[in-house]
Structure 1
Amino acid sequence: MRLCSFLSGEVAHAGVAGVDDSVLDVTWIVEARGDDLPRTVAGWVELGSAGIDRLRRLCAESSSEHVVGDVGDLTLLAPMGRLARNVICVGANYREHIEESVRAVGEIDVPDAPVYFTKDVRSVCGPFEDISWDPAVSAQLDWEVELAVVIGRAGRNIRPADALGHVFGYAVFNDVSARDVQLSRNQWWKGKSIEGSSPLGPFLVTSDEIADPQDLELTCWVDGVEMQRSTTKLMIHDVAALIADLSRTLTLEPGDVISTGTPAGVGLARTPPQWLVPGSVLESEITGLGRQCNRVVEAGV
Structure 2
Amino acid sequence: MRLVTFDDGKGARVGVLDGDAIRDIGAPDMLGLIAGGAAALEAVRGKLATAPVVTGARLLAPIPRTPKNIFCVGKNYHEHAKEFAGSGFDGGAKEVVPSYPVVFSKPHTAIIANGEPILSAMDPTGGLDYEGELAVVIGQGGRGISKADALAHVFGYTIVNDVTARHMQKRHSQWILGKGLDSFAPMGPAIMTADEAPDPTKLTLTTWLNGERRQHAPLSDLIFDIPTLIEAISAHITLEPGDMIATGTPAGVGIGFNPPKFMQPGDVVRIEVPGIGVLENPVV
Asked if these proteins are the same fold (TM beyond 0.5), I'd say yes
1:293 to partner: Cα distance:
1.1
**Which amino acid is 2:11 matched to?**
V
Q: Please identify, of 281-290 and 39-48, the stretch whose mean Cα deviation from structure 2 is larger.
A: 39-48
Equivalent of 2:223 in 236, 240, 257:
236
Residue number in structure 2 paired with 1:32: none
SS in 2 for 1:50: helix
Q: Please identify, of 41-50 and 195-204, the stretch whose mean Cα deviation from structure 2 is larger.
A: 41-50
Contact kept in structure 2, 1:52 and 1:206, CA below 8 Å:
no
Residue number in structure 1 paired with 2:179: 192
1:129 matched to 2:120: no
SS in 2 for 1:187: coil
Distance in 1 (alpha carbons) for counterparts of 2:147 and 2:122: 43
Contact kept in structure 1, 2:106 and 2:185, CA below 8 Å:
no
SS in 2 for 1:134: helix
1:126 to partner: Cα distance:
0.2
Contact kept in structure 2, 1:42 and 1:81, CA below 8 Å:
no
> 1:6-155 maps to which residues of 2 (within 5 A)?
6-9=6-9, 11-18=11-18, 20-27=19-26, 38-60=27-49, 62-63=50-51, 66-69=52-55, 74-105=57-88, 108-110=93-95, 111-134=98-121, 137-155=124-142
Distance in 2 (alpha carbons) for counterparts of 1:132 and 1:10: 27
SS in 1 for 2:236: coil
Residue number in structure 2 paired with 1:255: 242
Q: TM-score, normalised by structure 1?
A: 0.89
Contact kept in structure 2, 1:49 and 1:152, CA below 8 Å:
no
1:113 and 1:223, CA in 2 relative to 1: closer, same or farther beyond 3 A? same
Residue number in structure 2 paired with 1:172: 159
Residue number in structure 2 paired with 1:34: none
SS in 2 for 1:242: helix
Seq. identity, %: 41
Distance in 1 (alpha carbons) for counterparts of 2:275 and 2:268: 21
SS in 2 for 1:26: strand
Distance in 2 (alpha carbons) for counterparts of 1:118 and 1:230: 23
Q: Please identify, of 2-11 and 127-136, the stretch whose mean Cα deviation from structure 2 is larger.
A: 127-136
Specify every segment of 5 or more residues in structure 1 that has no aligned partner in the other structure, as ranges: 28-37
1:51 to partner: Cα distance:
2.1
Distance in 2 (alpha carbons) for counterparts of 1:158 and 1:136: 37
Q: TM-score, normalised by structure 2?
A: 0.94
1:81 to partner: Cα distance:
1.6
Distance in 2 (alpha carbons) for counterparts of 1:74 and 1:272: 42
Distance in 2 (alpha carbons) for counterparts of 1:138 and 1:50: 49
SS in 1 for 2:181: coil
Aligned residues: CA RMSD: 1.5
1:138 to partner: Cα distance:
3.8
**Which amino acid is 1:241 matched to?**
T
1:286 to partner: Cα distance:
1.0
Distance in 2 (alpha carbons) for counterparts of 1:236 and 1:50: 34
Q: Please identify, of 243-252 and 99-108, the stretch whose mean Cα deviation from structure 2 is larger.
A: 99-108
Residue number in structure 2 paired with 1:226: 213
Distance in 2 (alpha carbons) for counterparts of 1:163 and 1:261: 18
Contact kept in structure 1, 2:139 and 2:241, CA below 8 Å:
yes
**Which amino acid is 1:59 matched to?**
L
Residue number in structure 1 paired with 2:3: 3
SS in 2 for 1:131: coil
Contact kept in structure 2, 1:49 and 1:168, CA below 8 Å:
no
